Amino acid sequence: MPGSECPKLVVSTRNQHKLREIHAIMTDLDLELVGLDAFPHAPEVVEDRDTLEENASKKAEELFAYTSTATMADDTGLEVLALGGAPGVHSARYAGKDSDDAANRRFLLENLKGVDDRRAQFRTVIALALNSGTYHFEGTCRGRITEEERGDGGFGYDCIFVPDGYERTFAELSAEEKNSISHRGRALERFAGYLAVLLEQRNEGEPNE
């Protein structure tokens, strides 16, 4: 962010929807968000680490090295208490290397068959890579796994996860309701809070790295 006229932040995604979502949370910050579409030759980062933190850090750091611009990346997983935190960092490929969402959900419900303790949480970790180091921001949403799928909205595990304080699954909530309680929204607000301080220091002419 420092050293440029208008501070820029590279967001490690080619998904325009994700970019707009982040922009919406940070409209008050004087910051230009740049998606990976602006870097057509950026390396494809392999998410092969053991934790959400490490995957997010790896993505942010490799792209920071390539773009020489402050870079954020995130990783999200569903952590089921009775399964020792699984599927966690393996959420997208829980039922096998090329498994799809439906197969992953079936595998999870199978593994929880007869298990009374259905507590689980979605957890998002954002990593911000700067010259001064890499910083982490976490957001969680606690809830429980249902016995069967309910609702058409959302994706991934949304139709088998009921957040605390609700009776409906993530897939049955409106996008607005889901966003407002989501792990991802909370992690993004935390991230925005740190950026706000960096920008405030920058405007005061203080070094921020």
Establish if 92 lies at the interface with a copy of itself (CB under 8 A): no
Establish if 180 lies at the interface with a copy of itself (CB under 8 A): yes
Instruction: With contacts defined by CB under 8 A, name the span among 37-45, 61-69, 131-139, 145-153 that binds a copy of itself.
Output: 131-139
Is the N-terminal amide bond of 207 cis, ω within 30° of 0? no
Establish if 43 lies at the interface with a copy of itself (CB under 8 A): no
Establish if 196 lies at the interface with a copy of itself (CB under 8 A): yes
User: Of the candidates 64, 122, 137, 161, which one interacts with a copy of itself according to CB under 8 A?
Assistant: 137
Q: How many angstroms separate the CA atoms of 145 and 95, rounded?
A: 17
In terms of CB distance, is 15 or 180 closer to a copy of itself?
180
Catalytic residues: 75
Instruction: With contacts defined by CB under 8 A, name the span among 34-42, 59-67, 89-97, 173-181 that binds a copy of itself.
Output: 173-181
**Following CA atoms 74, 80, 84, 87 in sequence, which dihedral angle do they give, to the nearest 10 degrees?**
-50
Instruction: Sort residue 151 into left (φ over 0), alpha (ψ -120 to 50) or beta.
Output: left
Instruction: Identify the bridge partners of residue 161 per DSSP, sorted by sequence position.
Output: 145
Cβ pair 46, 73 in contact under 8 A = no
Nearest-approach distance from CB 45 to a copy of itself, in angstroms: 22
Nearest-approach distance from CB 154 to a copy of itself, in angstroms: 17
Q: How many angstroms separate the CA atoms of 59 and 75, rounded?
A: 9
Query: What does the block give as tokens for 57?
Result: 């850090």
Instruction: With contacts defined by CB under 8 A, name the span among 5-13, 97-105, 106-114, 193-201 that binds a copy of itself.
Output: 193-201
Establish if 135 lies at the interface with a copy of itself (CB under 8 A): yes
Q: How many angstroms separate the CA atoms of 202 and 135, rounded?
A: 18
Establish if 107 lies at the interface with a copy of itself (CB under 8 A): no
**Following CA atoms 110, 114, 116, 117 in sequence, which dihedral angle do they give, to the nearest 10 degrees?**
-30
Residues found near a copy of itself in the complex (CB under 8 A): 28, 135-140, 165, 174, 176-177, 180-181, 186, 189-194, 196-197, 200
